[in-house]
Amino acid sequence: MDRAWWKESVVYQIYPRSFNDSNADGIGDIPGITQKLDHLQDLGIDVIWLSPVYQSPNDDNGYDISNYRAIMDEFGTMADFDEMLEEAHKRDIRIMMDLVVNHTSDEHAWFVESREAKDSSKRDYYIWRPGKGGEAPNNWGSFFGGSAWEYDDASDEYYLHLFSKKQPDLNWEHPELRRDVYEMMNFWLNKGVNGFRMDVVNFISKDQNFPDGEMTGTGYGDGNPYFVNGPRIHEYMHEMNQEVLSKADTITVGEMPNVGVEQAKLYTGSEREELNMVFHFEHVDVGSGEYGKWSPQPWKLTDLKTIVTTWQEGLEEKGWNSLYWSNHDQPRAISRFGNDSEAFRVISGKMLATCLHMLKGTPYIYQGEEIGMTNIAFESIEEYRDIESLNAYKDFTSRGTMSGDEVMHAIHERGRDNARTPVQWSAEDHAGFTTGEPWIAVNPNYKQINAEAVLADPDSVYHYYKRLIKLRKQNPVIVYGKYQLLLEQDEQIYAFTRELDGERLLVLCNFSQEEPAFALPEGIDLTGSEVLISNYEVGGEAGLPALKLRPYEARVYRLN
């Protein structure tokens, strides 16, 4: 297995709008990030993944870019960006930019020109098609509700938008568009950024016949089979690698909804020269019902373990895993996979961190996770800001498929704003995030849960993350060791080993609030073992078989 710095790294995701506001306008910004670099250095992370900071009208909080070479006014200036980059590098922290090139904003100059006339030189930068019998070119639904096509009066054609109608899809079939994207990426690399997280990048190649999809409960067809890992995707990824990525020492991760492990081998196999890692969604989709995440169901640990194990084993020889519980599109990790009650919040947060950081792959921490932040449950839909939740509420209630209360319940469980309330820095007003009015309300639990409090408490989630990160730096087995699942059928305990050059770790994580008893499989002997880390005191019994775990207990042993 080839060694590489990005395999040994821990990545920290910043969603700038909610991170730290330096100028009292209620919106997080780039100088606000620079102010907190010491916090991140202290935590010990190696790379920041910066969600989009480019100019944007903010229909989808920066994932709708109107200029790839300018900074969003609310976030600051290019000089602010350069300063942040320099300050990060001074602290040995690399910066990974968000690259959103499946679509732009409809306010991007390319689209404005493309829309102007059918013979505009930028027309083919986007996907334009005539209607069919007075209707859209096909039946695909958009991820944010409604049709994926928007009619344009002037040209009597439709343009494709897999997300909001203010996010028209780029046409990757067009060589000039690809060349412009690569040039733009090189512009950022020349500035010194260290890599890219690529937004829904496995959607960029579309089946050029644009066939109708199978009808879904939303009243629209499912276009996924025609744009997920589409016909030319690997050609594009390899071309991007050759034109851009291979020329610098980068870290890359492709966000890839609906990707499976077989496809991931093609994207991440090192000899194929495409990407380093992908983000898949199989584990964060457990417990999804009829309307996907909008009908949340209880989930089973065995399902989670099967998914994670499939990925661990699938990418063992070739490729590399990314590891995450949460990001800006997901609920908070503790609320989703642990237990956010007062009794178990901290302990379950540490357990989840242990499990994730001991798996094989590059771990990603989402801002606030290191503080132990939890989901938000606003009472009224008016308090939500996320276009996806707002549209889902409108769609489900107007179609009568769910009551307002049912949709609110789903939003509380799985909505994206759970992760987007401001980072809780202190017990001061608005959690010290801003001295103005925050763009979205702060979680009312900030008086108990905040950075200042966790820094002062040696027993906190924060200090536990620090220890985990340090262990990774000291023990190559955590990075490169082979994974093996134990206790496969157990519904409460996630147990596995990691092994490298004869050194073996045993990881035990109790995902329940009970005290499950278990027997260690043959061949695993705790005699003479050492506890590397644990979220409870592990006393003198450390050398004996641990036959019971306490609620949400996690232990990592170095076996003899």
Active site residues: 199, 255
The least CB distance from residue 327 to ligand NOJ, in Å, is 7
The least CB distance from residue 197 to ligand NOJ, in Å, is 9
Measured between its terminal Cα atoms, the distance across the chain in Å is 24
Amino acid code (one letter) for 19:
F
Residues linked to residue 253 through DSSP beta bridges, in sequence order:
197, 277
The least CB distance from residue 100 to ligand NOJ, in Å, is 6
Interface residue list for ligand NOJ (CB under 6 A): 60, 63, 100, 163, 199-200, 255, 328-329
Name which of 105 and 445 has its Cβ closer to ligand NOJ.
Answer: 105
- Residues 65 and 73: their CA atoms lie apart, in Å, by 12
Name which of 293 and 472 has its Cβ closer to ligand NOJ.
Answer: 293
The least CB distance from residue 163 to ligand NOJ, in Å, is 5
The least CB distance from residue 167 to ligand NOJ, in Å, is 6
Q: What residue ranges in 388-459 does DSSP mark as E strands?
A: none
Residues linked to residue 507 through DSSP beta bridges, in sequence order:
496, 556
Question: Does residue 319 contact residue 269 with C-beta atoms inside 8 Å?
Answer: yes
Q: Taking Cα atoms as reference points, which of 108, 97, 110, 103 lies closest to residue 67? A: 108
Taking CB atoms, the residue at the shortest distance from ligand NOJ is: 63
Half-sphere exposure of 473 (CA within 13 A, CB side): 11
Name which of 100 and 189 has its Cβ closer to ligand NOJ.
Answer: 100
For the record, the structure tokens of 125 come out as 């930068």
Tell me the pairing of strands 482-486 and 221-222. Answer: unpaired
- Residues 390 and 378: their CA atoms lie apart, in Å, by 13
- Residues 309 and 287: their CA atoms lie apart, in Å, by 17
Name which of 416 and 498 has its Cβ closer to ligand NOJ.
Answer: 416
Name which of 219 and 257 has its Cβ closer to ligand NOJ.
Answer: 257
Name which of 163 and 294 has its Cβ closer to ligand NOJ.
Answer: 163
* Residue corresponding to tokens 């905040």: 450
- Residues 378 and 382: their CA atoms lie apart, in Å, by 9
